[in-house]
Amino acid sequence: MLLLLRAFHTVGSDDSTTWASATADEFAPVPRVCCLILAVYADDLRNRQFPPAHGGYRLNPDWVVKRVTYEQASGHAPPYLIDVDHEHREIVLAIRGLNLVKESDYKLIIDNALGMQMFDGGYVHHELLKSAIWLLNQESDTLNRLWVENGSDYKMVFAGHSLGSGVAALLTVIMVNHQSPRCGRP
């Protein structure tokens, strides 16, 4: 029991202890991208009922290229939006977090095939990987088109909250490590 408790206490808890602190410039995109993630939760980006304080969602609704709802994703992924932020020269795919009343979100979390899904030399959550692959298959043409139209100097940003962060992280690994030919190299 002591070893198990120690493992839970130390695994992952010290990962960043040797990292240098981020500079203000390096951290600046974080609150802005967090606001974009919050925008996925909003029903109407033009008539915002509960926008974040200090600047709202920090997006131009005219630059939102696509919004996908639960119904449109059919349980394959949480809702998401794709935004082309011309001011910051970024193409952002923002993914919503866990919705406690949506059975499809629980299905994504529960169906893990624990310890069975090998990926890039390790194990990953089975359904989160399936969700990331589905999302890439659905949106790679859109992301590629936006990257070509706006220039390869635009950054490709994948971000999410809670459940969406797991999908975004795996999507990033797929794109970076496997240089997805369907979406260029971000």
**Tens digits of per-residue pLDDT, 45-92?**
888 777 777 777 778 999 999 999 989 998 889 999 999 999 999 999
d(CA 106, CA 44): 25
Q: Hey, what are 96's tokens?
A: 């919503």
- Distance between CA 85 and CA 88 in Å, rounded? 6
CA angle (71 as vertex; 67, 74 as ends), nearest 5 = 105
pTM > 0.85: yes or no? no
Residue with tokens 């030399």: 121
- Residue 137 has a pLDDT of 93
What is the per-residue pLDDT across 128-174, written as a single tens digit (0 to 9) for each? 888 999 999 999 999 999 999 998 899 999 999 988 999 999 999 88
Q: Which of 114, 113, 121, 138 is nearest to 173 (CA)?
A: 121
Asked whether residue 114 carries a pLDDT value surpassing 90, the answer given is: no
Rounded Cα gap, residues 63 and 52, in angstroms: 19
Structure tokens at 177: 């490590």
Assigned architecture for domain 63-177: 3-Layer(aba) Sandwich (3.40)
32-36, 115-119, 135-139, 162-166: least confident range:
115-119
Would you list the domain boundaries of the chain? 63-177
